Amino acid sequence: MILSGFIVFLQTNQVIKKNKINSVHYSNQTSQNHMDKLKQLYQKVILQHNNAPLFFEKQPNYTHQIEAYNPICGDQFTLYLQVVENVINRATFYGYGCAISKAASSVLMKKIQGLSLDEAHQICVDYLEMIQAENAEMPADEDLKAFFAARDFPSRQQCAVLAWEAFVQDYPKK
């Protein structure tokens, strides 16, 4: 009786080990796919813009101020625009957030310098479509391409669009 109980234990233990091995193997494959996507998401452009964001400063001489806030994660940036005759002479941002939201805000500031409000608005609309539309194509622009992978990560997608959505929602009137 003890012997048969021991055999059952061994057989059960072997099944558990076998299942653990299969699960680990499956998990490693799944993790590898996610790691590849994460590497794309956090590629060089995002890390550079996070570590040394462009136009990251409070701007005292702004004509338009836009608040970008995600209450779920706490990311919060203020966009400062100095607009003269419908042209964005200087755009800066300041605040805090994850690497993706900070980098995306930095890229936004870079893209809209010197543009008319309408041109900046259209760039934001195009960017949001690239991130959110199912059939969007990968952009040629290296800065924007870095955020394309956010499409596969819904929780990171919000980070990638935070400042861009805020600009569209609070589209400065001339």
The CATH number of whichever domain residue 129 belongs to comes to: 3.90.1010.10
pLDDT at 46 over 70: yes
Please tell me the predicted confidence (pLDDT) of residue 146. 83
- Residue 174 inside a domain? The answer is no
Name which of 26-30, 70-74, 126-130 the model is least confident about.
Answer: 26-30
Q: Considering its fold, how many domains does the chain have in total?
A: 2
Say if residue 48 is in the same domain as residue 92. yes
- Residue 1 inside a domain? The answer is yes
* Structure confidence at residue 140 as a pLDDT band (50, 70, 90): confident
pLDDT at 2 over 80: no
Please tell me the predicted confidence (pLDDT) of residue 31. 59
- Facing residues of 77 across strands? 68, 95
Six-digit token pair at 123?
Answer: 């760039």
Say if residue 62 is in the same domain as residue 51. yes
Mean pLDDT of the chain: 80
Percent of the chain past pLDDT 70, that is, above it, reads 74
The pLDDT tens digits of the residues spanning 52-95 come to 999 999 999 999 999 999 998 899 999 999 999 999 999 999 99
What domain range includes position 20?
1-41
Any idea what the Cα angle at residue 95 is, between residues 108 and 172, rounded to 5°?
50
Spatial distance between the Cα atoms of 83 and 89, rounded to a whole number of angstroms: 6
Say if residue 105 is in the same domain as residue 162. yes
Say if residue 111 is in the same domain as residue 74. yes
